[in-house]
């Protein structure tokens, strides 16, 4: 019938939800194209976690103004976290009156309906729910990750870290039933998927909102115990909730990757307190020690922020100290961005941009040095890689990831795609390793 293009911003949650939007579009007979210019329907699935995510989305929506003027039949839809903020959808429509459909994060399952209404002649479809609804298991996903698949185990967040907009745009925690999760994972494995990432804003509180459901460590164990050889990852773990039971399950079950993403945010206990993270730097280090004593090989990755209101030079120095102490395998580093409606946005002592810039540069340089050293330590080792694609930059090479999540490029036959291969590492860089199949 027609064609579509989905433009996605933000986290894995959004990437996965775009797979749902794709399934809905395909269900109505649309097929994907690479460029908005060739599409009959363009969907922007937005993020608002930092200001630059919103700016980028707005820039790209604005850029379609002329296209829409040339082709009034083109349907433009905007959804996701940005539109779910109070009053934001209306403001967006005022700024971009040529947008046809706007909806939020709670009613994504209804996108098909909105599309039909627009095609049926309704000029504008603006649909936002104030609150989250029950979980709908009836809408499927059109997955795009090759042998890798995302599986949602819960939605929403109850933590209200003082800088973060997510709880306001994703609602309270809702867990899926474990039978639904297990059924989905099993079907994916039967269909040839070899790596599953379980998704939630705080996976460690899985099941707390339901009765008679397993808690996260049990769920993880049940997923890992499904038949066959495959990999399971999960994100994100909140440091206050990650416990020894999870680590014991990881140690025991061979299908569970020894790899934990554990966002620390800051190395200063005073900043952590004002972030409402509910752990201190010492608590965090104790968790790291606990993980490393049970699982010495476990990869650890993190998120770190600089420039939170009131962050003094001493606080920032504490962050650098923590980074040196833990030696993360890699880290996502961010500059604090005030989000309207969150407590931190109204706190005194907002940090000037120049100071934020200096701090982020210093932090990135330190983490890059550590990441490089950790990568270099792998040279000469043989690691297991799940071959998941061709290396587009190097003819005859495939790429894949190690259990710890590092990218590896190696010469190999495309017949190896989807398989676990042993690769000896020969060279290491910041973004990727190179090796040979052994």
160 in contact with ligand SF4 (CB under 6 A): yes
For residues 43 to 72, the per-residue mask of contacts with ligand SAH, x marking binding by CB under 6 A and - elsewhere, is: ------xx----------------------
Q: Which of 45, 175, 202, 409 binds ligand SF4 (CB under 6 A)?
A: 202
Q: Which is nearer to ligand SF4, 161 or 199 (CB)?
A: 161
339 in contact with ligand SAH (CB under 6 A): yes
Closest distance of CB 13 from ligand SAH, Å: 9
Closest distance of CB 284 from ligand SF4, Å: 14
Q: Among ligand F3S, ligand SF4, ligand SAH, none, what binds residue 339 when CB lies within 5 to 8 Å by partner kind?
A: ligand SAH
CB 16 within 8 A of CB 154: no
306 in contact with ligand SAH (CB under 6 A): no
Q: Which is nearer to ligand SF4, 230 or 279 (CB)?
A: 279
Tokens of 193: 């998927």
d(CA 164, CA 336): 10
150 in contact with ligand SAH (CB under 6 A): no
Per CB under 6 A, which region of 30-38, 159-167, 188-196, 217-225 contacts ligand SF4? Answer: 159-167
- 92 burial via Cβ count (<10 Å: 0-12, 13-18, 19+): buried
In the 3-class helix/strand/coil scheme, how is the chain assigned residue by residue?
CCEEEEEECCCHHHHHHHHHHHHHHHHCCCEECCCHHHCCEEEEEECCCCHHHHHHHHHHHHCCHHHHHHCCCCEEEEEEHHHHCCCHHHHHHHHCCCCCEEECCCCHHHHHHHHHHHHCCCCCEEECCCCCCCCCCCCCCCCCCCCEEEEECEECCCCCCCCCCHHHHHCCCEECCHHHHHHHHHHHHHCCCCEEEEECCCHHHCCCCCCCCCCHHHHHHHHHCCCCCCEEEEECCCCCCCCHHHHHHHHHCCCECCEEECCCECCCHHHHHHCCCCCCHHHHHHHHHHHHHHCCCCEEEEEEEECCCCCCHHHHHHHHHHHHHHCCCEEEEEECCCCCCCHHHHCCCCCCHHHHHHHHHHHHHHHHHHHHHHHHCCCCCEEEEEEEEECCCCCCEEEEECCCCCEEEEECCHHHCCCEEEEEEEEECCCCEEEEEC
81 in contact with ligand F3S (CB under 6 A): yes
Q: Which of 18, 105, 265, 330 binds ligand SAH (CB under 6 A)?
A: 265
Task: Using alpha carbons, list the distances in angstroms from residue 51 to 18, 128, 185, 338.
Answer: 21, 22, 35, 8
236 in contact with ligand SAH (CB under 6 A): yes
49 in contact with ligand F3S (CB under 6 A): yes
Under rule CB under 6 A, which residues in 184-203 are in contact with ligand SAH?
201-202
C-alpha atoms less than 13 angstroms from C-alpha of 182 in its C-beta half-sphere: 16
Q: Which is nearer to ligand SF4, 142 or 270 (CB)?
A: 270
Q: Among ligand SF4, ligand F3S, ligand SAH, none, what binds residue 81 when CB lies within 5 to 8 Å by partner kind?
A: ligand F3S
153 in contact with ligand F3S (CB under 6 A): no
**Number of residues this chain uses to bind ligand F3S (CB under 6 A):** 12
13 in contact with ligand F3S (CB under 6 A): yes
- Helix 111-119 with 12-27: angle, nearest 10 deg: 50
Tokens of 288: 């790291």
Q: Which of 167, 214, 389, 418 binds ligand SF4 (CB under 6 A)?
A: 167
Q: Which of 4, 6, 10, 173 binds ligand F3S (CB under 6 A)?
A: 10
Closest distance of CB 157 from ligand SF4, Å: 3
Q: Which is nearer to ligand SAH, 107 or 159 (CB)?
A: 159
Under rule CB under 6 A, which residues in 236-255 are in contact with ligand SF4?
238
305 in contact with ligand SAH (CB under 6 A): yes
Q: Which is nearer to ligand SF4, 261 or 401 (CB)?
A: 261
Per CB under 6 A, which region of 26-34, 42-50, 68-76, 249-257 contacts ligand F3S? Answer: 42-50
Q: Which is nearer to ligand SAH, 43 or 360 (CB)?
A: 360
Q: Which is nearer to ligand SF4, 201 or 266 (CB)?
A: 201
d(CA 279, CA 237): 13
Q: Which is nearer to ligand SF4, 171 or 412 (CB)?
A: 171
47 in contact with ligand F3S (CB under 6 A): yes
Residues that bind ligand SF4 (CB under 6 A): 157, 159-161, 164, 166-167, 201-202, 238
Binding residues for ligand F3S (CB under 6 A): 10-11, 13-14, 47-49, 81, 165-166, 169-170
């Amino acid at each position: 019938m027609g064609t579509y293009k989905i433009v996605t911003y933000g986290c894995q949650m959004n990437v996965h939800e775009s797979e749902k939007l794709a399934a809905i579009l395909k269900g109505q007979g649309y097929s994907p194209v690479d460029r908005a210019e060739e599409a009959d329907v363009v969907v922007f699935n937005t993020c608002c976690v930092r200001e630059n995510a919103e700016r980028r989305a707005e820039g790209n929506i604005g850029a379609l103004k002329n296209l829409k003027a040339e082709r009034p039949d083109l349907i433009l839809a905007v959804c996701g976290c940005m539109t779910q903020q109070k009053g934001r959808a209306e403001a967006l429509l005022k700024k971009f009156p040529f947008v046809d459909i706007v909806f939020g994060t709670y009613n994504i399952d209804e996108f098909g309906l909105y599309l039909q209404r627009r095609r049926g002649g309704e000029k504008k479809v603006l649909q936002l729910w104030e609150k989250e609804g029950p979980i709908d298991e009836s809408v499927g996903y059109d997955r795009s990750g090759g042998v890798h698949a995302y599986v949602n185990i819960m939605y929403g967040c109850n933590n209200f870290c003082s800088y973060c907009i997510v709880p306001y745009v994703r609602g309270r925690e809702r867990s899926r039933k474990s039978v639904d999760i297990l059924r989905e994972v099993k079907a994916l494995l039967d269909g040839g998927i070899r790596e599953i990432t379980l998704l939630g804003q705080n996976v460690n509180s899985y099941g707390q909102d339901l009765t008679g459901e397993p808690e996260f460590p049990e769920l993880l164990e049940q997923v890992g115990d499904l038949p066959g050889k495959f990999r399971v990852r999960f994100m994100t773990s909140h440091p206050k909730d990650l416990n020894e039971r999870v680590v014991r399950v990881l140690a025991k079950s061979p299908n569970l990757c020894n790899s934990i993403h554990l966002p620390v945010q800051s190395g200063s206990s005073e900043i952590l307190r004002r972030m409402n993270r509910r752990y201190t730097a010492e608590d965090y280090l104790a968790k790291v020690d606990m993980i490393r004593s049970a699982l010495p090989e476990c990869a650890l990755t993190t998120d770190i922020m600089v420039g939170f209101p009131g962050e003094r030079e001493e606080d920032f120095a504490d962050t650098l100290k923590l980074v040196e102490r833990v030696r993360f395998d890699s880290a996502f580093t961010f500059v604090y961005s005030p989000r309207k409606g969150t407590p931190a946005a109204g706190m005194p002592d907002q940090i000037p941009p120049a100071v934020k810039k200096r701090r982020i540069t210093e932090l990135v340089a330190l983490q890059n040095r550590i990441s490089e050293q950790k990568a270099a330590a792998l040279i000469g080792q043989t690691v297991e890689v799940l071959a998941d694609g061709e290396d587009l930059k190097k003819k005859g090479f495939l790429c894949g990831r190690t259990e710890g999540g590092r990218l590896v490029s190696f010469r190999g036959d495309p017949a190896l795609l989807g398989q676990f291969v042993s690769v000896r590492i020969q060279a290491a860089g910041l973004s990727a390793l190179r090796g040979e199949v052994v």
